[in-house]
C-alpha cells in the first residue's frame, strides 16, 4: 500500500511539474503571439527598445510556450540594463527551444552572463556560439573579442587582483545615471553630471527613455561627512538639453563642458558642442561660451574635453593642449580622441591621435594630466574585461606609448569611464556601472591610490 501511495505521489509530482512548464495555447493566441513578435522586432530594429519590450511582453502572454517571445524579451531587457530579468527570460528561451545549439541565443546568454560577472558561464556560451557560427561570422559578431575579455577577467581573478573602487556617496548615487565626477578645493567640492527626473525640462531621450543631462554641484559637509547638493550654482547654466561638465582646472577657475540642445525646444546647437566656462570664485560660474572654431565644434558630435596646464616658452609665447572626442570619422572608427593646441589664446587645427589609441571601436572620456604626460581614457575595443575599460598612455614627446589597461584594480566587466586622477590627494575618481533596484546604471566612485604600483604614480 505504501509503495502504491508513493508511486501515486511521484506521478502527481511529475504531472504538476510538467503542466507547470507547458500551457495549452489555442491557434489564434499562437497567431497573435507571432504577430506581436514581428511588430516588436520592427520597433526594436527602428530603435524603439522600450516600446518593443512592452510588445514582446504581450507576445509572451499570448503564448507562454513561444521561445522566441522569451528570446526577444531577454534581448530588450539586456538593452535597457535589466540583466537579471534578461538572464531569466534567456534561460526560459533555451529551455523551450528545440534547437539547443541556436547561435544567437548562445551569444545573448554569453553577453548577459558576462554583464552579471558570471564569467565562466559567459565564456562557455561564447565558445559555443563561436562553434555554431563558424570563424568568419563569429568574427563579424565580435565573439573572439568577448572570449578574450572573459579570459582577461579570469586571469585578473586568478592573479588575485582586487577592485579598489568605492562608492563616493550612497546619497548621490541613485537608480539614475551619475557620472563625470570632478573634484576641486582639496576634494571638498565636486561637480558631476546626472540624468535624473529633476533635470531641467524633464525631457526624456527617445532612444533610451532616460532623462536628459544636467550638471550638479555638491559640497562636502565637514560635520556630517555627507555631500550636499548646491542647486543654485548651476542656475543659468543648465538648459533643457544635454548639459555636461567634463573638466575643471585644479584652481577651480576654468572649465570645459558639452552642450547639446538639438533635441530640445531651445535648439541653440545643431549637435553636441564644447564650451568654456570661467569664474573668479571657485564653486561659481559665469556663462558658458561655445568654442567658436568649426574645426573643433563641427556638425558632428564633440565632447568630453580635457586640457593641460598652460606652458610658457622663453619667447613669452604660451600654449595648452586640449583633448576631446568626436565621431566625425564615425563611418570608419565610431568615436575617436583628437588633440588641438591653443597657442597664445588661439585654437589651432585638431589632429586625431594615433591608431594605437584610437581603435575601430569607441574611445571616450579622456583625461590629460596637468603636465600633459599621461592620457587616461576609456575604450570598448582595446583588450579589456568587457564594456568600456579605462586605459592610460604615456606621452613620449614625438609619440604615444601603447595603451595600458588599468586592470581589475579599477575596471570591471561592465562600463568604466570618466576617470580623473588627483596626485596631491592620492585619489582618483571615475564612473562605473552598479546595480540599483534591479537596474544597472552609472554611479560615482573613488579609488585610494596609496599603496598601488603604477608607472604614473612614481
Residues 138 and 176 in one domain: no
**Whole-number average pLDDT of the chain:** 92
Domain boundary among 96, 128, 158: 158
Q: What is the pLDDT of residue 265?
A: 85
Q: Is residue 243 part of a domain?
A: yes
What share of the chain has pLDDT > 70, as a percent? 95
Closest CA to 189 of 238, 228, 234: 228
Residues 110 and 213 in one domain: no
For the segment 346-362, the average pLDDT, to the nearest whole number, is: 95
Q: Is residue 2 part of a domain?
A: no
Residues 389 and 416 in one domain: yes
Residue 42 has pLDDT above 80, yes or no: yes
Q: What is the pLDDT of residue 372?
A: 97
Residues 299 and 320 in one domain: yes
Please, are residues 116 and 434 in contact by the beta-carbon 8 Å criterion?
no
H-assigned helices in 64-193: 67-79, 83-96, 103-115, 119-133, 135-140, 143-158
User: For residue 293, what is the domain's CATH number?
Assistant: 2.115.10.20
> Please, which residues bridge with residue 389 across strands?
379
User: For residue 54, what is the domain's CATH number?
Assistant: 1.25.40.10
Reported as a pLDDT band with limits 50, 70 and 90, residue 10 is very low
Q: Containing domain of residue 402, as a range?
A: 166-457
Least confident of 14-18, 306-310, 442-446: 14-18
For the segment 339-358, the average pLDDT, to the nearest whole number, is: 96
Closest CA to 184 of 217, 162, 232: 217
Q: What is the pLDDT of residue 22?
A: 62
C-alpha cell at 178: 551619475
Residues 194 and 95 in one domain: no
Closest CA to 179 of 405, 419, 388: 419
Residues 89 and 202 in one domain: no
Residues 145 and 107 in one domain: yes
For the segment 103-118, the average pLDDT, to the nearest whole number, is: 97
What's the CA gap between 75 and 87, in Å, rounded? 10
Query: Which pLDDT tens digit goes with each residue over 363-408?
Result: 999 999 999 999 999 999 999 999 999 999 999 998 999 999 999 9
Q: Which residues contact 361 (CB under 8 A, 6 or more apart)?
A: 333, 334, 379, 380, 381, 382
What's the CA gap between 381 and 367, in Å, rounded? 18
Q: Is residue 139 part of a domain?
A: yes
Q: Is residue 182 part of a domain?
A: yes
Report the predicted TM-score, pTM, of the whole model to 2 decimal places: 0.89
Residues 285 and 200 in one domain: yes
Residues 105 and 37 in one domain: yes
Query: Which pLDDT tens digit goes with each residue over 225-281?
Result: 999 999 899 988 999 999 999 999 999 999 999 999 998 888 889 899 999 999 999
Cα 424–chain centre separation: 28
For the segment 185-198, the average pLDDT, to the nearest whole number, is: 95
Residues 150 and 108 in one domain: yes
For the segment 146-173, the average pLDDT, to the nearest whole number, is: 96
Residues 268 and 397 in one domain: yes
Residue 6 has pLDDT above 80, yes or no: no
C-alpha cell at 406: 588599468
Number of domains making up the chain: 2
Q: Is residue 208 part of a domain?
A: yes
Residues 154 and 171 in one domain: no
Domain boundary among 135, 158, 181: 158
> Please, which residues bridge with residue 192 across strands?
216
Residue 426 has pLDDT above 80, yes or no: yes
**120-126-127 Cα angle (round to 5):** 90
Amino acid at each position: 500500500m505504501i509503495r502504491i501511495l508513493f508511486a501515486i505521489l511521484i506521478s502527481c509530482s511529475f504531472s504538476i511539474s510538467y503542466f507547470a512548464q507547458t500551457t495549452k495555447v489555442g491557434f489564434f493566441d499562437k497567431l497573435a503571439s507571432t504577430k506581436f513578435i514581428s511588430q516588436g522586432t520592427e520597433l526594436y530594429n527602428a530603435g524603439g527598445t522600450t516600446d518593443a519590450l512592452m510588445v514582446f511582453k504581450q507576445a509572451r502572454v499570448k503564448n507562454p510556450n513561444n521561445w522566441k517571445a522569451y528570446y526577444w524579451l531577454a534581448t530588450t531587457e539586456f538593452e535597457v540594463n535589466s540583466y537579471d530579468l534578461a538572464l531569466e527570460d534567456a534561460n526560459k528561451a533555451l529551455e523551450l527551444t528545440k534547437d539547443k545549439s541556436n547561435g544567437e541565443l548562445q551569444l545573448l546568454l554569453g553577453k548577459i552572463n558576462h554583464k552579471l560577472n558570471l564569467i565562466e558561464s559567459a565564456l562557455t556560451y561564447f565558445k559555443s556560439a563561436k562553434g555554431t557560427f563558424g570563424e568568419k561570422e563569429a568574427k563579424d559578431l565580435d565573439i573572439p573579442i568577448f572570449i578574450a575579455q572573459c579570459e582577461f577577467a579570469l586571469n585578473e581573478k586568478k592573479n588575485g587582483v582586487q577592485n579598489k573602487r568605492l562608492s563616493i556617496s550612497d546619497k548621490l548615487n541613485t537608480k539614475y545615471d551619475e557620472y563625470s565626477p570632478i573634484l576641486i578645493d582639496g576634494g571638498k567640492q565636486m561637480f558631476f553630471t546626472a540624468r535624473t527626473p529633476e533635470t531641467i525640462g524633464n525631457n526624456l531621450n527617445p532612444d533610451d527613455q532616460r532623462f536628459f543631462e544636467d550638471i550638479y554641484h555638491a559640497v562636502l559637509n565637514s560635520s556630517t561627512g555627507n555631500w550636499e547638493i548646491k542647486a543654485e550654482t548651476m542656475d543659468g547654466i543648465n538648459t533643457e538639453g544635454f548639459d555636461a561638465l567634463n573638466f575643471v582646472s585644479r584652481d577651480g577657475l576654468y572649465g570645459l563642458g558639452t552642450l547639446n540642445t538639438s533635441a530640445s525646444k531651445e535648439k541653440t546647437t545643431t549637435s553636441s558642442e564644447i564650451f568654456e566656462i570661467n569664474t573668479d570664485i571657485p564653486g561659481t560660474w559665469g556663462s558658458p561660451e561655445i568654442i567658436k572654431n568649426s574645426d573643433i565644434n563641427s556638425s558632428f558630435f564633440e565632447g568630453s574635453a580635457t586640457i593641460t596646464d598652460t606652458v610658457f616658452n622663453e619667447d613669452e609665447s604660451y600654449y595648452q593642449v586640449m583633448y576631446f572626442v568626436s565621431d566625425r570619422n564615425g563611418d570608419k572608427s565610431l568615436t575617436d580622441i583628437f588633440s588641438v593646441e591653443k597657442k597664445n589664446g588661439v585654437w589651432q587645427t585638431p589632429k586625431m591621435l594615433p591608431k594605437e589609441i584610437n581603435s575601430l571601436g569607441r574611445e571616450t572620456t579622456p583625461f590629460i594630466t596637468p603636465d600633459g604626460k599621461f592620457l587616461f581614457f576609456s575604450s570598448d575595443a582595446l583588450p579589456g574585461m568587457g564594456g568600456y575599460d579605462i586605459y592610460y598612455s604615456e606621452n613620449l614627446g614625438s609619440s604615444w606609448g601603447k595603451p595600458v589597461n588599468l586592470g581589475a584594480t579599477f575596471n570591471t566587466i561592465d562600463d568604466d569611464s570618466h576617470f580623473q586622477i588627483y596626485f596631491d590627494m592620492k585619489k582618483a575618481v571615475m564612473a562605473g556601472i552598479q546595480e540599483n533596484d534591479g537596474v544597472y546604471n552609472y554611479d560615482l566612485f573613488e579609488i585610494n591610490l596609496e599603496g598601488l604600483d603604477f608607472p604614473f604614480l612614481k
